[in-house]
Amino acid sequence: MVYDVKVMADLEFAAPNGKPLLLDLYLPVGVDKPLPVIVWLHGGGWRIGDRKLGPDFRVRFAERGYAMASIEYRLSGEALFPAQIHDVKAAIRWLRSVANEYGLDSGHIGLWRSSAGGHLAALAGTTGEGIL
């Protein structure tokens, strides 16, 4: 089944040092159960890129019943490591905290990535559940 997709852009999930971090949430319309979430982590060598840099999040996943969240993280020119993994974890915590509001399955959140985002996904994957 292919669903229509509602896009909720520019949702603030954190504000480290007063800088808002945003995500775009893609929600399939008409699904009557909590949605598993796929979080997109963009590439760019830690220096460039943004949450809009990626595939069309409507197709293949959101249209097929998965929520997609494309997130920002602070780049290396503005914040030193480990700020980036803190941002990824903040996004995951936020998604869990708003799961009921947006119909998300807080127990089923996966990460999808490109390049530097793959590094962040691996770092997040090696972090215990209690820390996220």
Q: In whole angstroms, what is the distance from residue 69 CA to residue 35 CA?
A: 12
Helix axes 83-97, 116-125, angle to 10 degrees: 60
Domain edges within the chain: 5-125
pTM (2 d.p.): 0.94
Q: Which CATH superfamily is domain 5-125 in?
A: Alpha/Beta hydrolase fold, catalytic domain (3.40.50.1820)
- What's the pLDDT score for residue 128? 62
**Which of these, 70, 53, 69, 57, lies nearest to 3 by C-alpha position?**
57
The DSSP call for residue 74 is: -
Mean pLDDT of all residues in 7-17: 97
Higher pLDDT, 15 or 60: 15
Task: Give the tokens for residue 132.
Answer: 């996220």
Amino acid in position 94: W
Q: Over the stretch 17-57, which tens digit does the pLDDT of each residue have? A: 999 999 999 999 999 999 999 999 999 998 999 999 888 88
Length of the chain: 132
CB atoms within 10 A of CB 49: 20
- Cα dihedral sign, 11-125-79-76: negative
Residue-wise pLDDT for 45-99, tens only, equals 989 999 998 888 888 899 999 999 999 999 999 999 999 999 999 999 999 999 9
